[in-house]
């Protein structure tokens, strides 16, 4: 939408979920700099009136700020020229039972803006467009059905004349997708993560520069593969035949827990999606294959765990690479892609849950770098550049009724929903980290529509550095680390970079921090009301720069403490791993926005 593109071009605004189409979360504002950041003071706060995890960031356009909340996904439109007075508010009516089918807390990752509208993707699957001036509802569309366990937590992404939204529910056996609507509410296209090429929107040119990404079977079984004692060995790349069709069907082999497993195959879509106007490609990742018990879905389970590049107009996929074929650990591939330029070319960067950071040539998907983000990653040794296939280690293979111990990273990955940021000034990526390992025991589980269908029991614990998290900078052309700071807990909130070489992020023990982007040295911090799982953002109003962040503990890391769950395996292992959060946060954490200025 023209108004959105104009708003994005003006650095005073924060008009898209990650600032602009690149997903860099980089601001050109420089008033707050390395010299004066120590003087940052709280300018104003806003309690959202809602408890539980608050993810994402508000939208700022001109004098208006639009703030979203966790379920029931209320919206407040605040006038920044009039002491943040509420101009309008919107209170969706959602069936409270939808909360029971959200896997990882009642989160919403924010709002979309464009065409004079504010777009909200409710947890109950309704995509809603409101008049940005008045809050009046203009249209809604039913995107997912919570009756079968399908929900939404993603922010709607407005890109040119489309609004993109996703689908959550791989812990409920949902067959997920990404969908694009026109700005007046008509479905333009829908691309499933599993199934026949016609429904995954795979055309004849798919992976034409990277044919081995479309190979039928990328592992050979060792000692019976899917059975206890078995594991998987990467097939010699020279023996792989690429360019195969309908892999979303053919890589779901039998026998399976449920007939035609791809029909309940997960591949959820709930991340942050960038767009490159030069090629008209939009990028996103798909989540884990359902069910978590890998033995009952032999095969690579395509196209779960995949980063796709799709044409914005048609949805047809240009390329797609599966990061974790035949997932055995819940290493969802949904983490954001960040686009950046280097030497006249555009690259797509992605820190996967599986503990590898990937860099592709953005237009054709050629893999240029794939490295472990931390040496503790112990399920694979490396990634084959031609096929994208990881060399799995038998020692980390998981099987039904066998408790695999000491697998690193844990299911929530070396990074989860918390988006990284990039600075074109330093040329570095800044990634919030999880430093968590696990035990993982797949168990038999029967599919019942609308009921949890997980099929594994986990415990989580701190990794070998003795902490649960960190924050690190990487060179995205090599994915080698520039610097690394430890954090007591996972850094579960998104990063922001500014042209004054600052990087901001929040922590689960309530700190909001500013670092020197070059060295990682901490320059300032402030303790907010509850743990931060929201994304740092910045804007300028009346000539003054502000930085802000939503607080409100939650997400997968905080859901157990929010619900008072204390059995270590509760909340898929988060209850034990993050038990100490109760020493830093009241439960259930209340949502608030805190905004700072000089």
How many angstroms separate the CA atoms of 448 and 318, rounded? Answer: 35
> How far apart are CB 559 and ligand PQQ at their closest, in Å?
8
How many angstroms separate the CA atoms of 126 and 38, rounded? Answer: 43
> How far apart are CB 361 and ligand PQQ at their closest, in Å?
28
Q: Which helix (H) or strand (E) holds 199?
A: helix 197-200
> How far apart are CB 355 and ligand PQQ at their closest, in Å?
14
Could you tell me if 442 and 398 are in contact, meaning their C-beta atoms sit under 8 angstroms apart? yes
Closest residue by Cα to residue 330 from 283, 287, 274: 287
Is residue 57 a contact residue for ligand PQQ (CB under 6 A)? no
Tokens standing for 364?
């054709």
Is residue 447 a contact residue for ligand PQQ (CB under 6 A)? no
| Nearer to ligand PQQ among residue 353 and residue 399 (C-beta) | 353
Task: Candidates 170, 368, 420, 549: give the one binding ligand PQQ (CB under 6 A).
Answer: 170
Is residue 307 a contact residue for ligand PQQ (CB under 6 A)? no
Residue found under tokens 């010699």: 236
How many angstroms separate the CA atoms of 241 and 418, rounded? Answer: 36
Neighbours of 12 (CB within 10 A): 19
Facing residues of 266 across strands?
Answer: 175, 289
Is residue 352 a contact residue for ligand PQQ (CB under 6 A)? no
Could you tell me if 107 and 93 are in contact, meaning their C-beta atoms sit under 8 angstroms apart? no
Q: Which residue lies nearest ligand PQQ, judged by its C-beta? A: 555
Instruction: Calculate the CA dihedral of residues 562, 568, 574, 580 and round it to 10 degrees.
Output: 70
Contact positions with ligand PQQ (CB under 6 A) in 321-340 = 332
| Nearer to ligand PQQ among residue 322 and residue 500 (C-beta) | 322
Catalytic residue annotation: 330
How many angstroms separate the CA atoms of 302 and 263, rounded? Answer: 12
> How far apart are CB 533 and ligand PQQ at their closest, in Å?
6
- Cα–chain-centroid distance for residue 244? 29
Which listed range, 68-76, 98-106, 212-220, 336-344, lies at the site for ligand PQQ (CB under 6 A)?
A: 98-106
| Nearer to ligand PQQ among residue 55 and residue 197 (C-beta) | 55
| Nearer to ligand PQQ among residue 61 and residue 460 (C-beta) | 460
Closest residue by Cα to residue 328 from 358, 351, 305, 357: 305
| Nearer to ligand PQQ among residue 13 and residue 153 (C-beta) | 153
Tokens standing for 83?
């002491």
| Nearer to ligand PQQ among residue 210 and residue 322 (C-beta) | 322
Could you tell me if 153 and 107 are in contact, meaning their C-beta atoms sit under 8 angstroms apart? yes
How many angstroms separate the CA atoms of 396 and 419, rounded? Answer: 27
Closest residue by Cα to residue 525 from 549, 541, 545: 549
Of the chain, the end-to-end C-alpha distance in Å amounts to: 34
Is residue 555 a contact residue for ligand PQQ (CB under 6 A)? yes
Answer whether the bond into residue 255 is a cis peptide, omega within 30°.
yes
Is residue 168 a contact residue for ligand PQQ (CB under 6 A)? yes
Contact positions with ligand PQQ (CB under 6 A) in 105-124 = 105, 107
Task: Candidates 556, 578, 584, 596: give the one binding ligand PQQ (CB under 6 A).
Answer: 556
| Nearer to ligand PQQ among residue 132 and residue 491 (C-beta) | 491
Is residue 103 a contact residue for ligand PQQ (CB under 6 A)? yes
Which listed range, 27-35, 73-81, 262-270, 466-474, lies at the site for ligand PQQ (CB under 6 A)?
A: 262-270
Q: Site for ligand PQQ (CB under 6 A): how many residues?
A: 21
Is residue 469 a contact residue for ligand PQQ (CB under 6 A)? no
> How far apart are CB 474 and ligand PQQ at their closest, in Å?
21
Neighbours of 33 (CB within 10 A): 16
Facing residues of 112 across strands?
Answer: 119
> How far apart are CB 535 and ligand PQQ at their closest, in Å?
12
Q: Interface mask (CB under 6 A) for ligand PQQ, residues 401-440, using x and -?
A: -----------x---xx-----------------------
Q: Which residues bind ligand PQQ (CB under 6 A)?
A: 55, 103-105, 107, 153, 168-171, 266, 268, 270, 287-288, 332, 412, 416-417, 555-556
């Amino acid at each position: 939408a023209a108004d959105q593109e104009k708003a994005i071009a003006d650095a005073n605004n924060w008009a898209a979920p990650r600032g602009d189409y690149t997903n860099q979360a980089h601001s050109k504002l420089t008033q707050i700099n390395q010299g004066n950041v120590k003087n940052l003071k709280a300018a104003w706060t806003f309690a959202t009136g809602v408890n539980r995890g608050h993810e994402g960031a508000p939208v700022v356009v001109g004098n208006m700020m639009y703030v979203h909340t966790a379920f029931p996904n209320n919206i407040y439109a605040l006038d920044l020229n009039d002491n943040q007075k509420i101009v309008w508010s919107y209170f969706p009516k959602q069936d409270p039972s939808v909360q029971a089918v959200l896997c990882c807390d009642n989160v919403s990752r924010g709002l979309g803006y464009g065409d004079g509208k504010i777009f909200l993707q409710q947890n109950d699957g309704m995509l809603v467009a409101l008049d940005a001036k008045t809050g009046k509802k203009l249209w809604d569309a039913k995107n997912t059905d919570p009756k079968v366990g399908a929900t939404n937590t993603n922010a709607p992404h407005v890109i040119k004349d489309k609004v993109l939204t996703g689908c959550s529910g791989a812990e409920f056996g949902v067959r997920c997708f990404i969908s694009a609507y026109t700005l007046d509410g008509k479905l333009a296209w829908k691309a499933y993560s599993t199934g026949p090429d016609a429904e995954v929107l795979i055309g004849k040119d798919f992976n034409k520069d990277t044919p081995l990404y479309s190979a039928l079977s990328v592992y050979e079984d060792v000692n019976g593969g899917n059975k206890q004692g078995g594991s998987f060995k990467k097939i010699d790349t020279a023996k792989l035949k690429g360019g195969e069709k309908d892999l979303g069907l053919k890589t779901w082999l039998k026998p399976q827990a449920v007939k035609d497993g791809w029909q309940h195959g997960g591949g959820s879509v709930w991340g942050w999606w960038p767009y490159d106007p030069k090629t008209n490609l939009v990028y996103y990742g798909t989540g884990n294959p359902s069910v978590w018990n890998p033995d009952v879905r032999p095969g690579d389970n395509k196209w779960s765990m995949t980063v796709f590049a799709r044409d914005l107009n048609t949805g047809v996929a240009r390329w797609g690479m599966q990061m974790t074929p035949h997932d055995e650990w819940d290493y969802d591939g949904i983490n954001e892609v960040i686009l950046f330029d280097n030497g006249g070319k555009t690259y797509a960067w992605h820190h996967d849950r599986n503990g590898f950071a990937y860099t592709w040539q953005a237009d054709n998907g050629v893999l240029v770098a794939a490295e472990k983000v931390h040496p503790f990653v112990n399920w694979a040794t490396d990634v084959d550049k031609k096929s994208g296939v990881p060399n799995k280690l038998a020692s980390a293979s998981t099987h039904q009724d066998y408790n695999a111990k000491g697998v690193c990273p844990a299911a929530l990955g070396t990074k989860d929903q918390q988006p990284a940021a990039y600075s074109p000034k330093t040329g570095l990526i800044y990634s919030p980290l999880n430093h968590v390992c696990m035990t993982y025991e797949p168990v038999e589980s029967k599919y019942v529509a609308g009921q949890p269908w997980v099929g594994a029991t986990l415990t989580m614990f701190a990794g070998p550095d003795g902490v649960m998290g960190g924050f690190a900078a990487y060179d995205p052309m090599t994915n080698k680390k520039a610097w690394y700071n430890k954090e007591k807990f996972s850094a579960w909130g998104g990063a922001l970079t500014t042209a004054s070489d600052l990087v901001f992020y929040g922590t689960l023990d309530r700190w909001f921090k500013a670092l020197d982007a070059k060295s990682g040295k901490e320059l300032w911090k402030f303790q907010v009301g509850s743990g931060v799982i929201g994304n740092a953002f910045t804007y300028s109003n009346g000539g003054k720069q502000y930085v802000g962040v939503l607080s409100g503990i939650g997400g997968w890391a905080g859901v157990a403490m929010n619900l008072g769950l204390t059995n270590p395996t509760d909340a898929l292992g988060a209850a034990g791993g993050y038990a100490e959060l109760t020493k830093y946060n009241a439960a259930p954490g209340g949502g608030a926005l805190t905004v700072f200025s000089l």
